[in-house]
Structure 1
Amino acid sequence: MARYEDLPYRTCVGMMLMNAAGLVFIGRRAGGIEHVDESHVWQMPQGGVDPGEDTWAAAKRELYEETNVRSVEKLAEVADWLVYDIPRTIAGRAWKGRYRGQRQKWYAVRFTGNDDEINVASPGGHKAEFVSWRWEPMKNLPDLIVPFKRPVYERVVKEFAKLASA
């Protein structure tokens, strides 16, 4: 197995889905070895970018695969790639030990549909990644994510804060 320091980052996208009131979709993860307690099991939709896939296309695909949502309007994106490392204690078990973390391109979108479009139980015919969901004030997001992803969420909130009341 490669040394932790030599492992690459998995290329991913993240989506901040906001409703008309400026609240953000968060889903309660169905599971994962990275979850250390019941308080930090919430996250925004995110997922991998396929080889050759455009990040915006990947973001819309991942959003649909995790939430069933297609009714969105693009609002903004974080110009930089945001990076986090997974803890060394789980690096060998997450993603089959192939990555040390993720490099993510983040997008903010306005949800233009109705809440009944959201279906985390059987989203877009894919395996459920969330067991429940809710709308949450943007400022609360960093406190709901696993601690090692918190700096990314803090940056995403900072970048998109002006959209919460737009």
Structure 2
Amino acid sequence: MTGSHEALPYRRGVGALLFNTAGEVLVARRTDTAEAWQFPQGGIDKGERPRLAVLRELAEEIGTDRAEIIAKSSQWYRYDLPAELLGRVWQGRYRGQEQRWFALRFLGRDAEIDLNASSHPEFDAWRWVPLASTPAFAVPFKRHLYEALVSEFTPVAQRLAAQRPST
């Protein structure tokens, strides 16, 4: 990326690693990109705190905010859009995103997840997967981000899996 694109700012946002009781994380398939799976994420509204933004984004994207924040990333993570998306995404105002990521424990039931809760659904399918597998689901320009998230949040997934009641 060269020239004027480097002068563009990053869009501030949040991301959600929503864990179930087995320590697996929710990924959802985007409606606008063939076979692109990702974590719920989105922008922070003006004056909004990241902790509130992540719960709002969950409600908008998966139809429920029945979750509690159990950890947040140690830093703001960034990714840059590839050249073919610059100018098309976010009306061309941003070069990528700078995000605070949160680990959340899902307090609801799977049946409460409703990808059609919004009038403009972003996802058409979802599933629980091991955190370590998520970089393989990510679009190439976000793969480094997902690898960093796996590294930072693996202890959270392990803790949740260890706390799981035996059946």
- With the length of structure 2 as denominator, give the TM-score of the two structures: 0.90
State the Cα distance separating 1:157 from its structure 2 match.
1.1
Aligned partner of 1:53 in structure 2 is 48
Give the unaligned 5+ runs of structure 1.
none
1:8 and 2:1 correspond: no
Matched residue SS, 2:98: strand
State the Cα distance separating 1:68 from its structure 2 match.
1.1
Aligned partner of 1:25 in structure 2 is 26
Matched residue SS, 2:23: coil
The equivalent position to 1:98 in structure 2, one of 93, 99, 110, is 93
Matched residue SS, 1:25: strand
Determine what percentage of the aligned residue pairs are the same residue.
46
C-alpha distance in 1, partners of 2:71/2:138?
Answer: 22
Residues 18 and 24 in structure 1, CA contact (< 8 A), matched pair in contact too: yes
Aligned partner of 2:102 in structure 1 is 107
Give the unaligned 5+ runs of structure 2.
160-167
Aligned partner of 1:131 in structure 2 is 124
- Summarize deviations over 1:140-159 as a string: whole Å, max 9, x none: 10110101111111111111
State the Cα distance separating 1:74 from its structure 2 match.
1.1
* Greater than 4 Å deviation, 4+ residue runs: none
State the Cα distance separating 1:71 from its structure 2 match.
1.4
Residues 49 and 55 in structure 1, CA contact (< 8 A), matched pair in contact too: yes
The equivalent position to 1:116 in structure 2, one of 111, 114, 123, is 111
1:72 and 2:67 correspond: yes
1:162 and 2:155 correspond: yes
Matched residue SS, 2:85: helix
Matched residue SS, 2:29: strand
C-alpha distance in 2, partners of 1:91/1:84?
Answer: 12
1:148 and 2:148 correspond: no
Residues 14 and 44 in structure 1, CA contact (< 8 A), matched pair in contact too: yes
Residues 59 and 107 in structure 1, CA contact (< 8 A), matched pair in contact too: yes
| Bigger mean CA offset, 86-95 vs 74-83 | 86-95
State the Cα distance separating 1:126 from its structure 2 match.
3.8
C-alpha distance in 2, partners of 1:146/1:66?
Answer: 19
How many aligned positions are there? 157
C-alpha distance in 1, partners of 2:52/2:129?
Answer: 25
Matched residue SS, 1:159: helix
